[in-house]
Amino acid sequence: MRREELLKPETLASLRGLDLKARLVVEGFLEGLHRSPYKGFSVEFSEYRPYIPGDEPRRIDWKVYAKRDRFYVKEYQEETNLRAMLLVDASGSMAYRSGSVTGALSKLDYSVTLAAALAYLLIKQKDAVGLATFDTQIRGYLPPRSSRNYLQMLLARLENLKPGGETNLAGSLHGLAERTRKRGLVIIFSDLFDDPDQVLLALRHFRHRKHEVILFHILDPMEESFDFSSPMRLVDMETKKEASLDPRLVRAEYHRALEGYRLRLRSTCSEHRIDYNPICTDQSLEYALFRYLEKRRRLR
């Protein structure tokens, strides 16, 4: 499978197992990079371990091979200089998946896959990574760890994540900001359907705690285009409230409202040095990973 295809949401949607998905995303992504992002990290020797196929040959210690006639690879105790927290919005609205694209990921699936890939990448870089999920309240919290075994726990938690009820994004973020004391990187995946003033206040709370923040504003293509054709009754997935309308008549104003909301988020985030990244679920995950690496590079 080609790298580009590995990163396509449709491809990922057809795969089972988050572990596999995360690995494929990251490996596929790294394969395409010209330079390894973690090449040249400062390391201290930790232990030798037997060579297994797939390890880089250049990491084989030839002196040990000369002595023992077996291949050993040097393991380094790398310094964990980053604590990353993945915050995944699991409110009801995140379960939305437009019917127009067959086999598309829901916003929650997309967020989970992206979060898993980043966790995989972070762990692979020996960074500590934690996970928090929330809807009206914080539903799960795993503090940041850098152990490889910890990744399985993270992935299991992500895999079992089910969409909940209404969103209280701001409240949950405030709670998490209070809970995440050590400064680090906070990566938020959410559709941000909440009062923008409150959301921005919560984001500023993270900044106040000296965290670096990457915000992935995840929307479904249909949420962006609002491309419904005939009059219908829309049912809010969170509140179950209904609204009868002719989408053709409200489309322009919907777009204006969405763009206004995004513009406001973008400008406020820029003001507070928060990386604001609007992402559509039909977009390749590569984009999100690039945004992360760019941020990571700036943190070094």
Partner 1 sequence: MINFANPWYLLFMPLAAGPLILHLLSLRKMRRVEFSSLFFLRRLRERRFRWLRLRDLLLLILRTLFLVFLVLALAGPIWRGRFPLARVKADVVLILDDSYSTSARFHDLKSTALRLVDELSAGSSVALLSPSGSLWDTVWGEPEFAAERIQALASSRSGRDLQASWVQSLKLLDKSRASTRRVVMISDGQTRALGFLKNERTPSDVETFCFIDEAGFPANTSILNAGLSPRVPLPGEERFLRIRLGRSGKKVERTVSLFADERLLEERRTAIHEGLKEIEFRLPQDAQGVRVALDPDSIPADDQRFVLASGSRGLRVAFVGDASSEFLELALKVGIGVEVQRVSPAAAASLSPLSYDLLIWDGAGGLPAQAAAAASQGLPVLILLDGDVEDVESVFKSSGISSDGFEMPAPSALFADLKEEDRRQIKIARHARLKPAGGKVIVSLSGGDPLLLADTSQGIYYLATRFTPLNTNLIYRALFPAMMQRIASYVAKGQSERLIGDTLRVRVRSGEALFVETPRLHYEITPRQSDGGYVVEFTRTADAGFYRIGSETFVVNPDPKEASFAKVNAVELRNRGFKVYPLGASTPRKLWLFALILAAVCLAAESILILSHVFASRSRKQPKTAVP
Q: Give the residues lining the site for partner 1 (CB under 8 A).
A: 93-96, 107, 167, 191, 193-194, 220-221, 223-228, 230-239, 241-246, 248-255, 257-258, 261, 278-280, 283
Least separation in angstroms between CB 135 and partner 1 = 13
Do the Cβ atoms of 219 and 192 come closer than 8 Å? no
Least separation in angstroms between CB 51 and partner 1 = 44
Closest alpha carbon to 83 in 142, 146, 141, 151: 146
Of 80 and 225, nearer to partner 1 (C-beta) is 225
Cβ partners under 8 Å of residue 66, min gap 6: none
Least separation in angstroms between CB 196 and partner 1 = 10
Alpha-helix runs per DSSP H in 105-161: 107-124, 148-159
Least separation in angstroms between CB 86 and partner 1 = 21
Looking up tokens 């084989």, which residue turns up? Answer: 60
Of 153 and 234, nearer to partner 1 (C-beta) is 234
Do the Cβ atoms of 115 and 106 come closer than 8 Å? no
Of 241 and 297, nearer to partner 1 (C-beta) is 241
Burial of 181 (0-12, 13-18, 19+ CB in 10 A): exposed
HSE (side-chain half, CA atoms, 13 Å) at 110: 35
Cβ partners under 8 Å of residue 155, min gap 6: 18, 19, 22, 116, 119, 120
Cβ partners under 8 Å of residue 220, min gap 6: 96, 97, 98, 104, 106, 107, 280, 281
d(CA 170, CA 265): 14
Least separation in angstroms between CB 13 and partner 1 = 18
Of 58 and 241, nearer to partner 1 (C-beta) is 241
Least separation in angstroms between CB 222 and partner 1 = 8
Of 243 and 299, nearer to partner 1 (C-beta) is 243
Of 127 and 220, nearer to partner 1 (C-beta) is 220
